[in-house]
Amino acid sequence: MLPSRFCRVTRKSEAKHYLRHPAKGDHPVKRYSALSILALLAVLLSFTAAGKAHAARCYNISQFEAEQGLRIHSELMVIGLTCQLIPGYNGLYSQYQQFTHKNRTLIADYENRLINFYKTRGSGEPTKKLHTLRTDIANEISQHAIKMSVTSFCNHFSPRLERALSMDQATLQRWARQIWPDQKTSTPLCRQDEATLIKEASARPRGTPERKYVRR
């Protein structure tokens, strides 16, 4: 319950009188300082909320790597499924399963990164949104198999599975962090992070495996 002196201050004239003549032990400077602190906190919170909203409009490097890592995984799945019945390529789906098992912890981490990103954007169903992304990626590469003959598709894409399976985790992550101008992510990479990755790639020797394994 509020002190009785606050209950008595109900009219404008009384409020002014109270400000000029505070009750004993109630110092105006302390009261104004508290109000100033509350106002400052409100401003800071508004900036924080605005900053989070702005950040959610683009990927940071970790989120960018996550989507591209899941793209690699989804593409390998489509390659394995599409080519498993073609003579000479029947071991591809088994290679995809080996790749999935080998990198299961990283793949789960990639999924969690994107689910958390969707949550920051206010998505009510972040897991469903992740599944939709996965489906869209799979459908996208499936269009290559439709446009090409299946044999040509398998000739072109099957080497990717063997290369991916041979990579250690650090190499796979560097591959996922590469910027491919012909392949945009569903959410753009933040500009400052894009500059960082371009600088990182340019400093890498051209002979390193992750630069050889281009997607197109």
The confidence band for 36, taking pLDDT boundaries of 50, 70 and 90, is: low
Confidence check: pLDDT of 194 > 80: yes
Q: What is the pLDDT of residues 87-114, one digit of tens each?
A: 988 889 999 999 999 999 999 999 999 9
Residue 96 near residue 80, CB atoms below 8 Å? yes
| Upper half-sphere CA count for residue 126 (Cβ side, 13 Å) | 13
Cα distances from 208 to residues 17, 40, 118, in angstroms, run: 78, 51, 34
pLDDT band at 159 (very low <50, low <70, confident <90, very high): very high
> Minimal CA–CA distance to 216: which of 142, 136, 144, 138?
144
Distance of CA 85 to the CA centre of its chain: 35
pLDDT score at 132: 95
